[in-house]
Amino acid sequence: MLVAVEAGSLLRGLTLLLSLPIVIIAHLFVSEAIGIQILIFISFSGLKIRDIEFVSHAVPPRFYSADVRAESFEVFDRCKRKVAVTANPTVLVEPVVRDFLGGDKVLGTEIEVNPKTKKATGFVKKPGVLVGKWKRLAILREFGDDSPDI
């Protein structure tokens, strides 16, 4: 919501809020990925990727960092290679993981960007939203036979 309003407009934020019943129904009765795709489409479509990146450095760190428990961070911090896996768009999570948590990489949902206009299309790149088996496949692709400890 904050990214939709900060990088977009109040109208985009209102549209996102009003779409919540559709998102919940899609999430519960169709698939989690469809619900997330709807949120991503409304939040990002037509926005300049530079604006999304700017907002993602300013807004999400306050909220994501507040949800990190000290015990979880201690475990994460002790790891040699730190890779976060999320269904959220990578562009939103990467600044938090790299700048605040000291992570090396984020495996997340990638949003499509029109190369000519440098604007987000609102769609996600293949394989789609990283949920369920797609998270597992992303981890296997990243680590291969050398699976992560955590």
Domain boundaries, the chain: 2-143
d(CA 61, CA 87): 17
The reply to whether the predicted model has a pTM over 0.95 is no
Across the strands, what pairs with 58?
none
Tell me the pLDDT tens digit for each residue of 83-93: 999 999 999 88
Cα 60 to Cα 106: distance, rounded to the nearest angstrom: 15
State mean pLDDT over 63-83: 85
- Rg of the chain on CA atoms, in Å: 16
Provide, rounded to the nearest whole percent, the portion of the chain with pLDDT above 70: 100
- Are 83 and 150 in contact by the 8 Å Cβ rule? The answer is no
Q: Where are the beta strands (DSSP E) in 71-125?
A: 83-89, 105-109, 111-114, 119-124
Kindly state the percentage of the chain with pLDDT values over 90: 53
Question: 85 forms bridges with which residues in the sheet?
Answer: 107
The distance from CA 143 to its chain's CA centroid, rounded to whole angstroms, is 20
Report helix angle 10-18 to 32-44, nearest 10: 160
